[in-house]
Structure 1
């Protein structure tokens, strides 16, 4: 009977809680960043970019420095409403959308303007760049007699073979680095908070110990009472 009772008693198992290592946020954050970056690269539609070049050419009576200055001015108006209105029929998109998919850049040392079009299709990016380049050349050449400078098409944009946006492996690598950086920063900040708490606790202990030391012992109370009764 005793053996049966002993068998019915539930066995108590000791639960051992293993604390995770202190460096666990680093790989966790890195893996999370890798997953997020890879998912972004896979789910986002690829974006293509194509560039067309136009050059400012001075006439016989105009100095080259003047052409350089007009190239800077024409680069600023390449994305204006008037220029985009000329380019809109050939680009096949509205003016507002066209403004977000084209940019113009120039160099302070060269009278050449780079007009870049971006789109989700390679042919669409080339069409946008060429449409804006032709519209800019047409509008500027109407005033060539007064300015002494005309814009000529130097190179047309062609449809790119590879997208300009980051691929899934590259996005994953960027996410991995960003996650690892955030995990490392969190590890650096966490011990600082822990040390602050420990220092606060160590500062409280001497104060409490001093208060207890200043209190009279129990034997001192009894001796004081006996002396007072004798008196």
Structure 2
């Protein structure tokens, strides 16, 4: 009676190892693109509006003093003392202004940019202009001691489009990131042995020669 060898089912890990090499790249790009597209669709659009104020030195003050006070005004623009006045013109609470308004300054120019973000473009414009207006009023009240005035350089205008990335871009970024991770997984994948790999047959050792058998 001859024993018929039975095939064993390969474990799931071995099945994964036997997939083509490019499957990791395709799967990673697909999953990454799917997640990126979902992020772009589920994230609400956000609009940003920016206004600018410039520090002007008074008679007897130096441009360096104006740049220094511009840095200081950029830091205090989001404080409660300024935002408390800005909420009156913006029509939103102080907490909304604190979470939505950011300022930036430049070491080369005595200018402060005030950027506000909101789901509504008109509200973003109102918040940016309101904070700039409140900041210039506070600077005007202390100009006798600082010898520096803040003047509105540019008012915020209605943005032409959302500041958030479009869905097509988030999908592309997600697919690229997923493909990159798939490539890294492919590099870390253990090398698969050759098809002819198998147990090494045991060498047969000849036994002792039978007695009386001529050699």
TM-score (norm 1): 0.74
Structure 1: gaps (5+ residues): 1-13, 199-204, 210-216, 221-231
- Between the two structures, name the one with larger relative contact order (CA 8 Å, sep ≥ 6): 2
Residue 23 (structure 1) shift: 2.2
Q: In the TM superposition, what is the alpha-carbon distance from 1:94 to its structure 2 partner? A: 1.8
Query: Per the alignment, in what secondary structure is the counterpart of residue 153 of structure 1?
Result: strand
- Is 1:180 the counterpart of 2:179 in the alignment? yes
Deviation at 1:158, TM superposition (A): 0.7
The corresponding residue for 1:171 is: 170
Partner of 2:4: none
Larger C-alpha radius of gyration, 1 or 2? Answer: 1
- Residue 161 of structure 1: how far off its partner (Å): 1.4
How many residues are aligned here? 187
**2:134 alignment counterpart:** 135
- The alignment partner of 1:108 has SS state of coil
Per the normalisation by structure 2, the TM-score is: 0.80
* CA distance in 1 between partners of 2:179 and 2:92 (Å): 42
The residue number in structure 2 matching 1:91 is: 90
* 2:157 equivalent in structure 1: 158
Stretches of structure 2 lacking an aligned partner (at least 5 in a row): 1-6, 194-198, 209-215
SS in 1 for 2:115: strand
Corresponding position of 2:212: none
Partner of 1:227: none
Per the alignment, residue 52 of structure 2 pairs with: 53
**SS at 1:114 equivalent:** strand
The list of structure 1 runs, each at least 4 consecutive aligned residues, that deviate by more than 2 angstroms after superposition, is 17-20
Cα deviation, residue 140, structure 1 = 1.3
